[in-house]
Amino acid sequence: MILHTILPEQCVLFPEQTEPEQFCAKGTVYFGLCKDGAQETLCRLVSTNPRDYLNPQYAPGSAFSHSTPEKNFEECTSFRV
């Protein structure tokens, strides 16, 4: 496909975004983390507990630190990617 435009390539073609890391922590809470250098940012929260969504500690965009993940997403659920 040929694209004729006066805009720079960076404005038209966006760089590929990496998928957020998913892991299991604190029971049934699943996080998606985006790494920005040394800091990890919470991008997604998936939980079966509605109270987890009201917890300001799990707000999207907040800085997040964790120890090594207990299990990965597939080991914590029967869902297979």
Q: What is the pLDDT of residues 44-76, one digit of tens each?
A: 788 888 888 888 888 888 887 655 445 555 655
Q: Where are the domains of the chain?
A: 19-76
Using DSSP's 3-state secondary structure scheme, residue 25 falls into strand
Q: Please write the tens of the pLDDT for every residue from 20-30.
A: 666 656 666 66
- What is the pTM assigned to this prediction? 0.47
- The end-to-end CA distance of the chain, in Å, is 32
